[in-house]
Amino acid sequence: MDALTGAYDYVLANSERFWDALRVHVTISLSALLIALVVCVPLGIACAKKQWLSVPVMATFNALRVIPSLAILVLILPIMGTGFAPALVALTLLACPPILVNTYLGFRSIDSFVLESASGMGMSQGRILRRIEFPLAAPLMIAGIKTAVVEVVASATLAAFIGGGGLGTFIINGLSMYKFSILLVGAIPVAMLAIASEIVFAVIERRTTKFQRV
Amino acid sequence: MSAQHAIVFDKVTKTFPKASKPSVNETSLAIEKGAFVTILGASGCGKTTLLKMVNRIIEPSGGKLSVFGKDIREVPVNELRQSIGYVIQQVGLFPHMTIEENIATVPNILGWDRQKTQKRTEELMELVHLPTNFKNRYPRQLSGGQQQRVGIARAMAGDPEILLMDEPFGAIDAITRTKLQDDFLDIQRKLGKTVLFVTHDVDEALKLGDRVVVMNEGTIQQYDTPLGMVSKPANEFVKQLIRTDDLFLRLQLINASEKMIALTEPPREGEPRVSGNESLRNVLQRLLVQGSGRVLVEDADGLPVGQLTLDILKFEG
Ligand SMILES: Nc1ncnc2c1ncn2[C@@H]1O[C@H](COP(=O)(O)OP(=O)(O)OP(=O)(O)O)[C@@H](O)[C@H]1O
Ligand SMILES: [Mg+2]
C-alpha cells in the first residue's frame, strides 16, 4: 500500500514527466501498429491469393515470431543504435507476425464457392474485397491485431532499454534505485493499457463474429 | 441464330492450360428463349465448363458465344453477369449476411433504392416458398434445401432472362429434392426464364428439361426433347445413359391425354380415373392395381373424355 501511495505521490510531483512518458509510450505503440498494419494487411492478402508468395513470406514471419521481443531489441541495437527510431523498428517487427499470419489465414479461410458466387453475380473485385472478403476475414484479422496490440504495448516498456523512452523509463529507474513505488509508476499504466486494449478488441471481435454465433 | 435464341454456342471450344484434350470440343448449340434445357452427362464430361463459359467464369479458347444475339465479349463482364442468374451446388451464400441481404446482392450492385429492393426481396421469398420471417436469419440457420431456395431467389433478384444452374439440387436429400424440383418447375413455367441446368441425374434431366443435352467427353451427343431422347436415342452412348429400354421411364414421359382414345362405352361407377396431364406410368399403375380393363381420362373439369387400355400402353413399349 505504501508503494501505491508512493507511486501516486511520484506522479503528482513529476506529472509532466509522467504524461510525457505516457505520450511517448502510446505514440510509439500506435506508430508501430500502424506501420505493421499498412505493410502486413496487403502483404497477407497478397499471400493468400498467390500461393508462390506465401511460402517464403510465411516462413520468414513465423521465424520472426519465435524471437523474443527483448532479443529483437538487443539485435537492433548494434545496427541502429539507441533512441526512438530503433525502438519503433523493433516494435514494428514485433507487431508484424500476428497481423500478417492472421490476415493470411483469414483470407484463406474464405470458402471458394462464396467467392465464385460473388463474382458470378457480377460483383467487381473491389466490391468483393470490401463486402465479402474483409468481413469474412475480420474475425481472424481482429484476433491477430489484438495479439499485436497487447504485445506492442507491453514490449514498448522494453524500448526504454534502448533509449526509446516511454513508461519503461520508470521501471528501469525503479529497478536501478530499488524503489518499488517508481517501478509501479511505469508498470501499472502499462498493465492498464494492455487490459484496456484487450477489452476494446474483445468488443470489436464480438461484433465481427455476430454471424457465427447466431 | 436470331433473336428468338437466348444463348448460342458457335463452335465453342475450351482447352484448359496443360490439358491434353479439350474439355468442351467445338460445340454448337442454340437455346431458345424461354427453354428449360438440362445438360446431362457423366462426371468430367464438360458440363460445368460448358455452363460457366456463358457467364465468362471460364473463357472459351475458341468459338463464339452470344446471348440474345450479342457476342458476350462485347459486354462488360460484370454487366453480363448481373444479367444472368447463377446457382451452384454449394450454394455459396454469404455467411455474414442475412437472407435478405444475400437476396439483395444484385439489386445492391445495381443501386436500387431501398424500398424497391425490399419489395423485391419479399416477392422472391414468397416465390421460392421461404417464410418472410427468415429475412433476418443468417445462412447457417437454414437447412440445405432452404439455403438453395435462397440461392435461387438471390440469382433471380435482378430479374435476369437467363438462369445458369450447376447441379443446384445435387447435395440435397431425395425428398427435399423432389419438392425443390417441383417448385422450381412451377417458377420457371410462371416466369418463362431461359434455364440452363446441369445435372448428372437422368431422372432429373428428363423431368425438368423441355430439352435435354447429353454430353460425353466434351461433345454433345444429342439435343432433343426428353421423349425424343428416349424414343430415338442418337447413338449407343445415349441409349446406355438414358436407359431407353426402360419402359417405365418412357411411359413416365408421356401424358395420358396424348395417347387416349375415344370412349368405347359410357363411363361406369367405380372405374379408375386420371387427369389428362398424368403420365402413362400412373395409368399403368392404376390398370395393374385396380385390375380394371381401362382407365378413364378426365379433362380439366373432371369429365371423362377418353380412355386408355393395356393394349395401348403395350404399343408404346
Ligand atoms: N480449372 C480447370 N483446370 C484444368 N482442367 C479443368 C478445370 N476445370 C475442369 N477441368 C477438366 O475439364 C474436364 C471437364 O470438367 P467439368 O468440370 O466441366 O466436368 P463436369 O461434367 O461438370 O463434371 P462433374 O459432373 O463431375 O461436375 C475434366 O476433365 C476436368 O478435369
Ligand atoms: Mg460439374
**pLDDT value at residue A71:** 82
**pLDDT value at residue B95:** 96
Contact yes or no for A44/A104 (Cβ under 8 A):
yes
Which residue spans of chain B are classified as CATH 3.90.1280.20? 251-316
Helix ranges (H only) for B140-224 are 144-156, 174-191, 202-208
Dump pLDDT digits (tens) for A67-76.
Answer: 877 788 778 8
Reported for B252-257, long-range contacts at CB under 8 A and 24+ positions apart, including other chains, are B252/B206, B252/B279, B252/B280, B252/B281, B253/B206, B253/B226, B253/B227, B253/B279, B254/B227, B254/B279, B254/B280, B254/B316, B255/B279, B255/B280, B256/B280, B256/B282, B256/B283, B256/B295, B256/B297, B256/B308, B257/B297, B257/B306
pLDDT > 70? residue B160: yes
Which residue spans of chain B are classified as CATH 3.40.50.300? 5-243
Of B165, B187, B40, B159, the residue nearest B90 (C-alpha): B165
CA of B22 to the centre of ligand 2 (A): 15
Contact yes or no for B25/B53 (Cβ under 8 A):
no
Of A11, A25, A23, the residue nearest A149 (C-alpha): A25
Q: Which of A34-43, A73-82, A172-181, B188-197 has the lowest mean pLDDT?
A: A73-82
Of B65, B70, B69, B33, the residue nearest B52 (C-alpha): B65
User: Would the CB of B23 count as within 6 Å of ligand 1?
Assistant: yes
| Nearest residue of B to residue A113, measured between CA atoms | B92
To the question of domain B251-316 being in CATH 3.90.1280.20, the answer is yes
User: Mutation test of ligand 1: which of B23, B53, B202, B220 has the most ligand atoms closer than 8 Å to its C-beta?
Assistant: B23
Dump pLDDT digits (tens) for B205-237.
Answer: 999 999 999 999 999 999 999 989 988 899 999
Separation of alpha carbons A118 and B191, rounded Å: 24
Which residues in chain B are closer than 8 Å to A115, comparing Cβ atoms?
A: 92
Dump pLDDT digits (tens) for B107-153.
Answer: 999 999 999 999 999 999 999 999 999 999 999 999 999 999 999 99
Render B78-134 in DSSP notation, one character per residue: HHHHHTEEEEETT----TTS-HHHHHTHHHHHHT--HHHHHHHHHHHHHHTT--GGG
Q: Tell me the CA distances in angstroms from B220 to B22, B31, B191, B279, one per residue in order.
A: 13, 13, 28, 28
**pLDDT value at residue B270:** 85
Separation of alpha carbons B34 and B22, rounded Å: 30
**pLDDT value at residue B286:** 87
Dump pLDDT digits (tens) for B256-271.
Answer: 888 888 888 888 888 8
Q: Position of cell 454430353?
A: B215
Helix ranges (H only) for chain A are 2-13, 15-49, 51-66, 69-80, 84-108, 112-120, 125-127, 134-159, 168-176, 180-208, 210-213
Contact yes or no for B144/B172 (Cβ under 8 A):
yes
CA angle B169, B171, B175 (to 5 degrees): 65
Which residues in chain B are closer than 8 Å to A111, comparing Cβ atoms?
A: 90, 92, 95
Domains by residue range for chain A, with CATH: 2-212 (1.10.3720.10)
Q: In this structure, what are the phi and psi dihedrals at residue B263, rounded to the nearest 5 degrees?
A: -65, 130
Q: In this structure, what DSSP letter does residue B73 have?
A: G
Query: Who among A115, A120, A132 is closest to B55 (CB)?
Result: A120
Mean pLDDT, rounded, for B42-47: 94
- Kindly give the interhelix angle for A15-49 and A134-159, rounded to the nearest 10 degrees: 140
User: Would the CB of B117 count as within 6 Å of ligand 1?
Assistant: no
C-alpha cell at A196: 484496456
pLDDT > 90? residue B285: no
Separation of alpha carbons A19 and A5, rounded Å: 18
| Nearest residue of B to residue A115, measured between CA atoms | B92
By alpha-carbon position, which residue is closest to atom 25 of ligand 1? Answer: B43
pLDDT band per the 50, 70, 90 thresholds, residue B87: very high
Interacting residues of B55 by C-beta distance below 8 A, sequence separation 6+: A120, B80, B81, B84, B86, B164
Q: Hey, how many other C-beta atoms are within 10 angstroms of the C-beta on B21? A: 9
C-alpha cell at A145: 491485431
pLDDT band per the 50, 70, 90 thresholds, residue A45: very high
Mean pLDDT, rounded, for A126-133: 97
* The one-letter amino acid at B141: Q
pTM (two decimals): 0.86
Q: Characterize the bridge pairing of strands B84-88 and B219-224.
A: unpaired
Q: Characterize the bridge pairing of strands B62-67 and B70-71.
A: antiparallel
Give A136 or B286, the one with higher predicted confidence. Answer: A136
pLDDT band per the 50, 70, 90 thresholds, residue B2: low
Render B20-41 in DSSP notation, one character per residue: SS-SEEEEEEEEETT-EEEEE-
Neighbours of ion ligand 2 (CB under 5 A): B 48
C-alpha cell at A78: 548494434
Q: Hey, how many other C-beta atoms are within 10 angstroms of the C-beta on A63? A: 10
- ipTM surpasses 0.90: no
Query: Who among A114, A117, A122 is closest to B109 (CB)?
Result: A122
Mean pLDDT, rounded, for A175-186: 90
Give B281 or B159, the one with higher predicted confidence. Answer: B159
Q: Considering chain A, what is the average pLDDT of its residues?
A: 91
CATH number of the structural domain B5-243: 3.40.50.300
pLDDT > 70? residue B316: no
Q: In this structure, what DSSP letter does residue A130 have?
A: I
